[in-house]
Amino acid sequence: MITLSINGKDHEFNDDGDMPLLWALRDILKYTGTKYGCGKGLCGACTVHVDGQPIRSCVMPVSAIAKQKITTIEGLSENGDHVVQQAWQTLNVPQCGYCQSGQIMSAVALLERNAKPNDQEIEQAMSGNICRCGTYQRIKEAIHHAADLATEVKGS
């Protein structure tokens, strides 16, 4: 048995330890905000945080995680008001929205290690996240906007 700590809550996991975290989250524990896109770590739709680091949950076996803290899109904020979530809404970033959980998780991780990323740093950090609808331009703007918001919050 493996205990998974997800969004601050412990869950007992009794299934195949080889199961990628993605399917454990979605099928077993019903956190469906984390999406399947490729199953090979190529598209980033399944991005979650493990101890604050962005990882591709579709290629991460549950057995490799135990005890570390997992954060999914559902656990990013109490009321959907994380600065990145705010910025995403302000700029109407999503089109179909499917990849956006992964995009947001990657963006949050970026801003946590680099409060004011430039365009190039954003492109580097977000290069693993595909958006087929093509919202990249707004993602970039929203990350800059979130960085500004975070500074304002700190300053006020």
* Token pair for 36: 């399947």
State the nearest-atom distance from the C-beta of 26 to other proteins, in Å. Answer: 7
State the nearest-atom distance from the C-beta of 49 to other proteins, in Å. Answer: 13
Lay out the site mask for other proteins across 62-101 (x = CB under 8 A, - = otherwise).
----------xxx-xx--xx---xx-xxx-x-xxxxxxxx
Site for other proteins in 31-50 (CB under 8 A): 31-40, 42-43, 45
64, with CB counted inside 10 A (0-12, 13-18, 19+), is middle
Beta strands in the chain (DSSP E): 2-6, 9-13, 47-50, 53-56, 69-71
Q: How far is CA 124 from CA 8, 12, 66, 147, in A?
A: 29, 36, 29, 16
Chain residues binding other proteins by CB under 8 A are 15-16, 18-20, 23, 26-28, 30-40, 42-43, 45, 72-74, 76-77, 80-81, 85-86, 88-90, 92, 94-101, 104, 122-124, 126-127, 129-140, 149, 152
